[in-house]
Structure 1
Amino acid sequence: MDTPEGTRKWLFYAFLGMIADILDIILTSVIPDKRPQRSIVPSDVDQLSNEEILKLSKNSSKLHPDAGVVKLTPGTVAKGSQDLDEDAADASEANALDLLFAETTIPVPRVRRVVKRQWDFWIVMDYISGPTLAHVWGTLSTWQKIRVAFTLRRYVRQLRRLKASATTPPGPLSAQGARICESPIFGQVQSHRGPFASYSELSDFFNKRHQMAMDAKKLPRDDPSRNDLFDDSEPLVLTHQDLNLRNVIVGEDGRLWIVDWGWAGYYPPWFEYVVMRRQNEDETISGTNDEFWKALVPFICGPYFRQERWLWRMSQGLYFR
């Protein structure tokens, strides 16, 4: 049950969000986005064969010691696909980037080539030069940080316009159909579940786990909390699921570029908020322990406090396989 303080907090963020969305509509109508990422610019891998790209990748250096992304050429990087399905027919991250490039104005790397390897795909995309937001966050003024949050909220609003069709399964984008889902939402014991053939299957999974958690806590069968179910009231929308300061690059053009779409897929809108909250509670993941950044998360993704509490209460049920 919401406390008066919790209700006031929700109303505060909901009001701020409403004002921001009105400003977004006004700005978009006065200064329409030019969609610069849609322009067709040649790449320095266009003339290379798949075999040449694979050979080149063997001698390429990592952009970061702990990252799986390599600098392939001066203008491109490459990374392995993160799909967990055996014999995957396509690379879901490349599918998500192609959709974003075509249907939104969110600055994302353009996919230049998808090359099949033995066990996965090699995704070749544009190299985005610039520091991560984690690197520069501490140097920004309060006003600059608010502008960043406003921009990210605009990006999330665009993501939520990309809704799954009635027959599209939850999870990674693929022509193959339902795929294994990977997300921090599923917990630390096992971060991947599924595949789920439909939205209702995803809801049933969580509701069953909710009952398992209630049983583990030995709650009576008539306890009202057993009737508090998974929120599937909103349609599935495209979510990034790893929004943190390390995955936002401040480009040389001044725009904020979103990278690392390996966990992207169609999920309930509140997944973005919960994952962002969790990712940004860990300084080693987010790149900062700044409380102001954490306070901006509900503004960026929406204040889904009730859904977050529900997931926390039933999290014990995710320990079971």
Structure 2
Amino acid sequence: MGFVADVLDGIGTIVGVVPSTRPPSDYGPSDVDHLTEEEMRSLPKRPTLSEELGVELGDNNILRLTDGTVDKIVFDGPEPSEATTLDMVFRNTTIPVPRVRRVIGTGEDVSIIMDYIKGRQLGHVWPTMSFFEKLRVGFILRRYIRQLRTIRHSRAVVPGPAAPGFEARVCQSHIFGTRQPQRGPFASYAELAAFWNERNRSSMEIETTYWNVPPEEAQACHKEPFDDSHPLVLTHGDLNMRNVLVGDDGRLWLIDWGASGFYPIWFEFTIMTYQAKVIGAPIEDDVFWMRLMPFICGPYYHQARWHSRASSSLNFL
């Protein structure tokens, strides 16, 4: 499937399914470029996008700042990883993402001022799409993920959120479940692998102690180690229909990069399938969408099953 998909992906690029260059409009000025931080903070308070549109978008920390920008409140210091990632993606790919215009604030409580993207969440549009429109979405998202994985950055040796320098940051990722999604920091790939191998061992003990699984069966299921055979790659980390916008300009935009970072190549698929099961939106269970996931991210079924078994101990540790 991979070879055929690569050929079709190449053809799609040639015929313009996914543009090979970023349009000039992406480099245009915004309506806050001339404002100081004080002037931006003195602007009249506006509602969240959900309140403004009358649709729940899961964006309680995102306020409309001006007609062309939004203010996203984050809590990871004066150099927020999401802003760093967005800038990296903007400069190194053709993926449509909101352009960061300014980071304001001090201490842990800061705001990312970024472009407001006119469009609708994919989940709201998906039921009205034809088969070929949905297939096109799959090809475009696959191309986006492949672009992310080609980014070469010195930070890629440190697992977790992007940041200046090499200091490890706490990982905020759905790969760690919902009970305690913040883990780490992990200073190296080896530390991340050690964390998961320990969780795998603990899960085996839980199965034999509390679930009465025969020791031989548990050992057989947990004998393999964490797969760290591929280099860390830039990962969106929250790829679901809520975070894909069908723009008024006809492009697919990727938003909400708060869970992004450098992770093993199979994390994107594992998180995407996990999100489809727990996100709570029935549309995420769409059969065609589920079948597109391995096409978009790569068919890392084996690693996803390993993670499912190893992650049961996350509820205890």
Q: Same fold (TM over 0.5)?
A: yes
1:222-261 C-alpha deviation (Å, 9 max, x unpaired): 9344431111111100111111111111112201010000
* Contact persistence 2:155–2:163 (CA under 8 A): no
1:75 corresponds to: 68
User: 1:275 and 2:275 equivalent?
Assistant: no
Report the number of matched residues. 301
1:125-154 C-alpha deviation (Å, 9 max, x unpaired): 111101111111000011111111111001
Assess, with a 3 A threshold, how the Cα gap between structure 1 residues 286 and 279 changes in structure 2: closer, same or farther: farther
* Contact persistence 1:37–1:101 (CA under 8 A): no
User: 1:44 and 2:59 equivalent?
Assistant: no
Q: Distance in 2 between matches of 1:169 and 1:118?
A: 24
Residue 33 of structure 1 deviates from its aligned partner by 1.3
Q: Distance in 2 between matches of 1:180 and 1:149?
A: 31
Q: Distance in 2 between matches of 1:115 and 1:223?
A: 51
SS in 1 for 2:27: coil
User: 1:61 and 2:50 equivalent?
Assistant: no
* Contact persistence 1:244–1:285 (CA under 8 A): no
SS in 2 for 1:64: helix
Where do residues 1-321 of structure 1 align in structure 2 (5 Å cutoff)?
15=1, 17-28=2-13, 33-36=20-23, 39-56=26-43, 59-65=45-51, 66-67=58-59, 68-83=61-76, 88-163=77-152, 165=154, 168-175=157-164, 177-218=167-208, 219=215, 223-282=219-278, 284-285=280-281, 287-321=283-317
Q: Distance in 1 between matches of 2:261 and 2:3?
A: 26
| CA RMSD of superposed structures (Å) | 2.2
Residue 82 of structure 1 deviates from its aligned partner by 4.6
Assess, with a 3 A threshold, how the Cα gap between structure 1 residues 29 and 160 changes in structure 2: closer, same or farther: same
* Contact persistence 1:171–1:179 (CA under 8 A): yes
Bigger RCO (CA 8 Å, 6+ sep): 1
Runs of 4+ in 1 over 6 A off after TM superposition: none
Question: TM-score w.r.t. structure 2 length?
Answer: 0.88
Assess, with a 3 A threshold, how the Cα gap between structure 1 residues 144 and 39 changes in structure 2: closer, same or farther: closer
Unpaired segments ≥5 residues, structure 2:
52-57, 209-214
Q: How high is the sequence identity, in percent, across the aligned residues?
A: 49
Q: Distance in 2 between matches of 1:226 and 1:136?
A: 41
Unpaired segments ≥5 residues, structure 1:
1-14
* Contact persistence 1:281–1:294 (CA under 8 A): no
1:8 corresponds to: none
Q: Distance in 2 between matches of 1:272 and 1:152?
A: 12
Q: Distance in 1 between matches of 2:71 and 2:308?
A: 36
Question: TM-score w.r.t. structure 1 length?
Answer: 0.87
Q: Distance in 2 between matches of 1:273 and 1:163?
A: 20
Assess, with a 3 A threshold, how the Cα gap between structure 1 residues 129 and 141 changes in structure 2: closer, same or farther: same
